[in-house]
Structure 1
Amino acid sequence: MSDMSHYSALTDVSAAVRRGAASPVALTEALLTRIAEVDPTLNAFLSTSAETALQEADEAATEIASGRWRGPLHGVPIAIKDLFHTAGTPSTFGTTVYADFTANEDATILRRLKQAGAVIVGRLHLHEGAYGEHHPELGDVMNPWNHAYWPGGSSSGSGAATAAGLCYGSLGTDTGGSIRFPSAANGVTGLKPTWGRTSRKGAFPLADSLDTIGPMCRSAADAAAMLGAFAGADPGDPTCLRAPVPDYLGALRGVAGMRGLKLGLDPAMLDVAEPEMRAAITAATEVFADLGAEIVPVKVPSLAPATEAQLVICETECARFHAPAFAEAPGAFGAALSGAITRGLAYDSLTVAGAYIEQARFKGRLARLFEDIDALISPVTPLVGYRYDDFSSFLDNLMDSLSFTAPFNLSGSPTVTFPCGISPTIGLPIGMQLIGPHLTEDVLLRAAHAYQQATDWHLKRPMA
């Protein structure tokens, strides 16, 4: 491996480890050193786990050397968002309120990652309670491309650490855009699975009926490798789907084009995006067409009512979880999360009922749209980037800020987000997403992989 191996793809590192060209221990030591050098200015990690990570790496090296290779994550260092229960280790949920919480057992997804042989190098920073903004006592995460700009959230540490070469992949969660925002802002590839495709047992909730857990990586192939390790039914989570789990990574072998794929495009969705984003997504659409995809004009169901419904449901369910702690110490919560809890406690029953009715209707409208297309092309945000010194504009205008993300949490739809350009004015990555019918993660990953085989935007790296 080269001295820039911290920027290598997870799948490339995995292949090198399997054939003995790279050592899990050496990789882990190098990343821990890089975290110590780089992260003080990024603040992507809330904690590292050097001792246990090196032990896991040593065990992986021994197993692989003896021919017991577990799969593509075996011996590969990754990191997790700090809201997953970990036996004997505090899980902060990005706040000081739950700083003393320590679980007795690992979250299902963490257990599956360990069973796949992954090396867990640390726990990543996030917006407080996975909502709104970072807790003031824990500080902001910096965007490795430009520290003046928001790195996305709530999985801010996951996006920044993956982009900056501090891990080869990471876990994120998404309730209203929390995988997609940081994937777009940091130039990484994030997969928000179908709601219920991945277990939520042992994960702090923001909104139980909307939360989804997925991988954030440097490529669609890397995301496929991670998703394959932890997707699938879980007896401990009754909301987890029992549908068979495809070989996501294996399905990408030999994929070079998109012939036969129908991608929907609603020009109205691009009209509200700023010019640089509109130009990048238009250029990407031309690449899709050159690769054989059929671009189908569509009219997407109105997104504003769905966005409003998502906000009501999210804040109501958020308030339900935090109500006991909030009643005891309201001043311990940061402004954004406190506001969400307060609003959630105040919604009347008719408003909440209306939100769940809109959810059912939007899901039905979207299902009919997908009868004619395989996936929908969409921006992630209206703007390429949000400056930290003006971040209040994002929080004060959530109906606009979440307009391309929250509706597809309401519908439970899978999406894949990936880079399709770089802003010539501010130097930030430009991301886009493909949205599909339920349980079409394999289709979305194949489309993103084919695009990445034909372009090199996912290979661009920040100078963190």
Structure 2
Amino acid sequence: MNLTAELHFSDLTDVAALLRDGDIRARDLAEACLSRIAAMDGRCNAYITVLADRALAAAQAADRARAAGRLLGPLHGVPIAVKDILDIAGAPTTAGMPMRRDHVATEDATVVRRLDEAGAVILGKLNVAEGVYGEYLEPYGAPINPWNADRWAGASSGGSAVATAAGLCFGSIASDTGGSIRLPSAANGVTGLRPTWGRVSRHGAFELAGDLDAIGPMARSAADVACLLQVIAGVDTLDPTSLIEPVPDFSAQPPELAGVVVGVDPSWMSDRVEQPVVRAVEAALVTFRSLGATVREISLPPAEQVIWDWFEICAAQAALAHEATYPSLAGRYSRSLAALLDLGLGLKAVDLQRVQKRRAIFAGQLQRTLRTVDFVAMPAIAFAIPTRQRMLTIDDDTIYGIHRFTCPFAMSGNPTITFPGGFEADGMPLSVQLVAPRLAEAVLLSAARAFQSVTDHHRRRPL
């Protein structure tokens, strides 16, 4: 069997079954993935660091365990990759910042430890925008969208989405502060879940904004996302902000929509949203109805102010996260990240409290609305995936359209899932986003699995 040709776009859950049953060896699969990375990443630029020796050692350990009659866990021998904000002992955690290229971690992040304990083979660390915020800097450069090299690959988790879409791993771990799981998932045609804030430990993760940051999975299907989330979710004594609520079996809820109530707010859908994006969501609503769901019009709270408020809260928290190096090493920062930190350092306490009050009001109003439905359907981005050139000359309208459907739910801490919902005439992916009450990840995953069981948008490949 030519593993590189036949398996690199397989579902994570299918590959896990092959490994579990002994139909393929973990070492062979890891070698095939590393060969594909060597052949393809020159055009994708998804990885900052490839950890070949670590990956092969993990794969050999998986093969030895199976030969002895035992499996390491649900990800036994499965090759995945993680965003380069998560510490892996012995490897640098750059967070996309050239001045951190020699910052070698001494212990594993909790998420990494849980992946290892589940038997995963971590191939390497994925490209990330500087400081998990704006620009991709040299010597790393920006990840390249595999659907069209002239289009944006998404926000700071672009490397995670590109690697997943291009078949350079079977799933990846990313982070989302204001949209960086959802936007890259939309741009690259993969499925990504931002969990409830605190559902996944942030111990050992480079911080952008502590009470906005969320760690979550990306994969090529919702079933694969559920498998990854199952491994990484749960309370962690090393992260006192992690939630103590029990973690359900995310795959146990059947992929069915009978009796489910789907909310939609027409005013949100008509607020400067391009028609192909609207049509993708409307088509998803038709599919949901065909699967037995009821679609109900609702009124979500106004969100325009909270979108702009996100920047001030992020700025204040980022300034705290960078206080050891900024402004003392300001010359080693890009203008965009430096501007964010300067904004944070210049905020008055009373102004920040005013912003936090508006955030709390929005979150409270949203939670009450979400109690009337199982989830809400909407876009992840207001327009077609922008060109890289447009993102270099970004204006307020573009900033608003990018964050219109992402920042509000980072501010409220609600879980969301983003998945392919169709394609533009030029072949670029269109996406759908679902937003649910806090801790309702299982509902989102069930709905996305149901949608993907009767559609094939997530089966199309860019390469």
Superposition TM-score tier, normalisation by shorter sequence? over 0.9
1:30 counterpart (22, 32, 39)? 32
Q: 1:60 maps to which residue?
A: 62
| CA deviation vs aligned residue, 1:351-408 (integer Å, no higher than 9, x gap) | 2111211121111101110121010111111112110111135464433321100010
1:259/1:292 contact within 8 Å kept: yes
In 1, Cα distance between equivalents of 2:441 and 2:393: 33
Letter in 2 for 1:264: G
In 2, Cα distance between equivalents of 1:400 and 1:21: 47
Does 2:355 correspond to 1:355?
A: yes
* 1:324 Cα deviation after fit: 2.7
Letter in 2 for 1:56: A
Q: 1:273 maps to which residue?
A: 273
Q: 2:418 maps to which residue?
A: 417
2:160/2:173 contact within 8 Å kept: yes
In 1, Cα distance between equivalents of 2:68 and 2:252: 24
Q: Percent identity of the aligned residues? A: 43
2:197/2:414 contact within 8 Å kept: yes
Q: 1:72 maps to which residue?
A: 74
In 1, Cα distance between equivalents of 2:145 and 2:22: 34
1:148/1:387 contact within 8 Å kept: yes
Gaps of 5+ in 1: none
Letter in 1 for 2:232: F
Q: Tell me which moved more, 82-91 or 200-209.
A: 82-91
| CA deviation vs aligned residue, 1:307-350 (integer Å, no higher than 9, x gap) | 12211111111111113312222121122212211211122222
Letter in 2 for 1:434: L
Q: 1:462 maps to which residue?
A: 462
2:197/2:415 contact within 8 Å kept: yes
Q: Tell me which moved more, 328-337 or 206-215.
A: 328-337
* 1:290 Cα deviation after fit: 0.5
Gaps of 5+ in 2: none
Q: 2:84 maps to which residue?
A: 82
Give the secondary-structure state (helix, strand or coil) at the position aligned to 1:46: strand
Letter in 2 for 1:403: R
In 1, Cα distance between equivalents of 2:395 and 2:119: 39
2:306/2:358 contact within 8 Å kept: yes
In 1, Cα distance between equivalents of 2:344 and 2:139: 24
1:394/1:401 contact within 8 Å kept: no
* 1:128 Cα deviation after fit: 0.7
Letter in 2 for 1:409: A
Give the secondary-structure state (helix, strand or coil) at the position aligned to 2:422: strand
Does 2:451 correspond to 1:451?
A: yes
Letter in 1 for 2:457: W
Does 2:369 correspond to 1:369?
A: yes
Letter in 2 for 1:226: L
Q: 2:94 maps to which residue?
A: 92
1:15/1:72 contact within 8 Å kept: no
Q: 1:384 maps to which residue?
A: 384
Q: Tell me which moved more, 293-302 or 329-338.
A: 329-338
In 1, Cα distance between equivalents of 2:11 and 2:289: 26
Q: 1:229 maps to which residue?
A: 231
* 1:137 Cα deviation after fit: 3.5
1:127 counterpart (126, 129, 132)? 129
Q: Mark the CA change 1:136 to 1:55 in structure 2 (over 3 Å): closer, same or farther.
A: closer
In 2, Cα distance between equivalents of 1:365 and 1:124: 37
In 1, Cα distance between equivalents of 2:106 and 2:442: 34
Q: Tell me which moved more, 369-378 or 164-173.
A: 369-378
Q: Mark the CA change 1:394 to 1:376 in structure 2 (over 3 Å): closer, same or farther.
A: farther
TM-score w.r.t. the length of structure 2 is 0.97
Does 2:46 correspond to 1:44?
A: yes
Letter in 2 for 1:414: P
Letter in 1 for 2:448: A
In 2, Cα distance between equivalents of 1:422 and 1:161: 20
Letter in 2 for 1:43: N
Q: Mark the CA change 1:387 to 1:108 in structure 2 (over 3 Å): closer, same or farther.
A: same
CA-atom RMSD in angstroms = 1.3
Letter in 2 for 1:430: L
In 1, Cα distance between equivalents of 2:135 and 2:427: 23
Q: 2:409 maps to which residue?
A: 408
The 5 Å alignment of 1:4-403 reads 4-252=6-254, 255=255, 257-271=256-270, 272-394=272-394, 396=396, 397-403=398-404
| CA deviation vs aligned residue, 1:401-436 (integer Å, no higher than 9, x gap) | 211000100000000110000111x32111111000
Q: Mark the CA change 1:186 to 1:100 in structure 2 (over 3 Å): closer, same or farther.
A: same
In 2, Cα distance between equivalents of 1:302 and 1:350: 23
Give the secondary-structure state (helix, strand or coil) at the position aligned to 1:251: coil
1:28/1:53 contact within 8 Å kept: yes
In 2, Cα distance between equivalents of 1:137 and 1:52: 23
In 2, Cα distance between equivalents of 1:313 and 1:219: 33
1:132/1:395 contact within 8 Å kept: no
1:11/1:72 contact within 8 Å kept: no
1:136/1:334 contact within 8 Å kept: no
* 1:184 Cα deviation after fit: 0.6
2:222/2:448 contact within 8 Å kept: yes
Give the secondary-structure state (helix, strand or coil) at the position aligned to 1:120: strand
TM-score w.r.t. the length of structure 1 is 0.97
Letter in 2 for 1:116: A
Q: Mark the CA change 1:156 to 1:319 in structure 2 (over 3 Å): closer, same or farther.
A: same
In 1, Cα distance between equivalents of 2:281 and 2:378: 8
In 1, Cα distance between equivalents of 2:395 and 2:84: 22
Give the secondary-structure state (helix, strand or coil) at the position aligned to 2:180: coil
2:98/2:138 contact within 8 Å kept: no
In 1, Cα distance between equivalents of 2:138 and 2:333: 9
